[in-house]
Structure 1
Amino acid sequence: MNYSLSRFGAWAALGLLAAACSQTDVAPADVVNHLTLGNPSGAVASLASPTNYLLTKPQYSLSYNRNQGKPNWVAWHLDQADLGGAARQDDFRSDESLPSGWYQVTSSDYSGYGFDRGHNCPSADRTASEADNSATFLMSNMMPQAPQNNQQTWADLEEYCRSLVRSGNELYIICGSYGRGGTGSAGYYTTIAGGQVTVPSRCWKVVVVLPAGRDDLGRLTSSTRVIAVTTPNTIKVNPDWGGYRTSVDAIEKAAGLDLLSALPLSLQNTLEASIDKGPTN
């Protein structure tokens, strides 16, 4: 369902083509894979779209917001092939694939404010190779996240997602943040790094669960499990992520996005209106 980012709709088709052409290290198949369920904001790889700039990588796709120094959303596909034995690289660094002249957020920009460099696409979701894991440490994949949120609530949700994969499923995941102002271990901030990075008030994730197979889009039904979660970006967050489940519709309205837009409208409406009541561990 399209909300405040509907003005980007006219860009959507161009976005996939532009991304495939402008990101020479990424094949078009990678774009299709991660954005199979849709481009949530109609992001495009165009200098005319600095607050909704599409970056496509083999490991994930994202909409980058230059004015906020963080992604609007990051989307990726997760299956058993993504989970291997590669070690955590911990090589946080600027993303040099962003357009020349844009501020390059650095790892040290987060120092002293009491917020973690919170992954959108988690490190542990990309352990098939060192290169895959390293890609998750680009600062374009980070959001300022309260430590208790990142290390407890969010970490448990991420591990639950991987447990679903290990039990025979594949997932389509979209993660992001919205709002302005969060409370970390050093107090409340609306921005960090001299205003270059916005501290969000909420972190969110949508997970579409499918048994491993082919023709993923065609296999979605009204009974497909969709987990939608939104948490406050604060040190007082409850560690139980299951208590923060909501509907996709609610996240769309709050974040101004159009999630699962590639689905037939009737199916999209059904899945987006429901609130997951499945297990959490």
Structure 2
Amino acid sequence: MPETDDTYDNSEIHPDCKPSEYLIDLFCFNGRPFNKDPDHKVTVLINHGYVVGFSSFRKQPLWAAYRVADADHHVDYDRPQLFYDDERLSAGDRIDPRPFGKIPDPDPNAGGRQVPLNRGHLVPNEAINQQFGRLAQMETFFMSNMSPQYARMNQGIWANLEARILNDYAPAMDHVWVLVGPIFGDNPPVVTRSGSGVQIPVPESYYCILFDPIRYPYGRMSNVEVLALTIPQSAGREQLSQRHITSIDAIERATQLDFLTRLPNRAEARAEALMADDIWAPTPRRRRTALEIEPDQ
């Protein structure tokens, strides 16, 4: 099937996840991402609180999708202490749960400095813990949900974004859908596992796409606000700002992924070309007291 065909998707649902395939749309807004790379397949793994598209070529997810909502009460279990290989993956794709270590800083002015790497959650422990409970939380510690993130970025701007989504956006906006994933440079540095020799490329940056339905019918893209972000690994502990805003189109070009795959082509093209005017402020976009139960139409 040619790449120009809009239905082309070089992905497959993992056989163990087939019985749970019906859950995908609960986490992926208007369709799961399609993989447009004809040379490298993506395997879709479905968990209790999120979905990822895992790349055997990159040894990490190319996309991860989850959803947060406002809640009157939530659970709050302690953070698990261990990481786990995902036994659903073939032996060659299990990168083992050890830390990623360090790589040489790619900054030409670094003077031989090393960059510490974290096992960076693409779908965050805390959000899934509070929204879906203990088992779902523990599944976020599968290595199939990890990407090698610069420690300062993981603990800085990325952690702040995750907290903003859970603690500010969800209460203010009722429901927020999230898509995140890595963006690779042309010649990414790699982490090499001793013993197996498995190499894990280190991304250059990460994307995050947020969907906030603000009016009924909520699935219509004209009633949905979108914030698409690209955050470089070098961002460290800086604050989110206008310079991180991008479009879905730009992320698709950088990743060879196709988002909003359940939309008609024209509506998809319009939504993907838009750029938000600013970083969302954590203020209510809807008046819950005025939001009455609406009939299905």
Q: TM-score range by the shorter chain?
A: 0.7 to 0.9
Is the Cα contact below 8 Å between 1:160 and 1:280 reproduced in 2?
A: no
* 1:245-266 Cα shifts (integer Å, max 9, x gaps): 1111111111111111212323
Matching residue of 2:240: 240
Q: Secondary structure at the match of 2:211?
A: strand
Deviation at 1:168, TM superposition (A): 4.2
Matching residue of 1:191: 190
Counterpart-to-counterpart distance in 1, 2:61 and 2:4: 18
Percentage of pairs with the same residue: 21
- Gaps of at least 5 residues in structure 2 are 104-115, 283-297
Deviation at 1:236, TM superposition (A): 5.0
Q: Which residue identity does 2:275 align to in structure 1? A: I
Counterpart-to-counterpart distance in 2, 1:224 and 1:259: 15
Q: Which residue identity does 1:23 align to in structure 2? A: C
Q: Secondary structure at the match of 1:107?
A: coil
The 3 A distance-change label for structure 1 pair 280 and 175 is same
4+ residue stretches of structure 1 with deviation over 4 A?
4-8
Counterpart-to-counterpart distance in 1, 2:82 and 2:231: 27
Matching residue of 1:29: 22
Q: Secondary structure at the match of 2:92?
A: coil
Counterpart-to-counterpart distance in 2, 1:63 and 1:137: 16
Deviation at 1:109, TM superposition (A): 4.6
* Aligned partner (choices 86, 89, 92) of residue 77 of structure 2: 86
Q: Secondary structure at the match of 2:257?
A: coil
Matching residue of 2:138: 134
Matching residue of 1:185: none
Q: Which residue identity does 1:252 align to in structure 2? A: E
The 3 A distance-change label for structure 1 pair 28 and 240 is closer
Is the Cα contact below 8 Å between 2:44 and 2:54 reproduced in 1?
A: yes
Q: How does 1:120-131 map to 2 (within 5 A)?
A: 120-127=122-129, 128-131=132-135
Counterpart-to-counterpart distance in 2, 1:118 and 1:83: 24
- Gaps of at least 5 residues in structure 1 are 183-188
The 3 A distance-change label for structure 1 pair 91 and 49 is farther
Matched, 1:38 2:31: yes
Matching residue of 1:186: none
Deviation at 1:36, TM superposition (A): 4.3
Is the Cα contact below 8 Å between 1:170 and 1:211 reproduced in 2?
A: no
Greater shift in the superposed pair: 129-138 or 26-35: 26-35
Q: Which residue identity does 2:30 align to in structure 1? A: L
Q: Secondary structure at the match of 2:276?
A: coil
Counterpart-to-counterpart distance in 1, 2:92 and 2:6: 21
Q: Secondary structure at the match of 2:120?
A: strand
Deviation at 1:97, TM superposition (A): 1.2
Deviation at 1:277, TM superposition (A): 2.3
* Aligned partner (choices 203, 217, 220) of residue 200 of structure 1: 203
Q: Which residue identity does 2:171 align to in structure 1? A: R
The alignment's TM-score, normalised by the length of structure 1, stands at 0.80
Is the Cα contact below 8 Å between 1:169 and 1:211 reproduced in 2?
A: no
Q: How does 1:63-142 map to 2 (within 5 A)?
A: 63-80=53-70, 83-99=74-90, 101-113=91-103, 114-127=116-129, 128-142=132-146
Q: Secondary structure at the match of 2:77?
A: coil
Matching residue of 1:55: 45
Deviation at 1:83, TM superposition (A): 4.9
The alignment's TM-score, normalised by the length of structure 2, stands at 0.76
The 3 A distance-change label for structure 1 pair 235 and 248 is closer
Matching residue of 2:176: 171
Deviation at 1:50, TM superposition (A): 6.1
Matching residue of 2:291: none
Q: Secondary structure at the match of 1:203?
A: strand
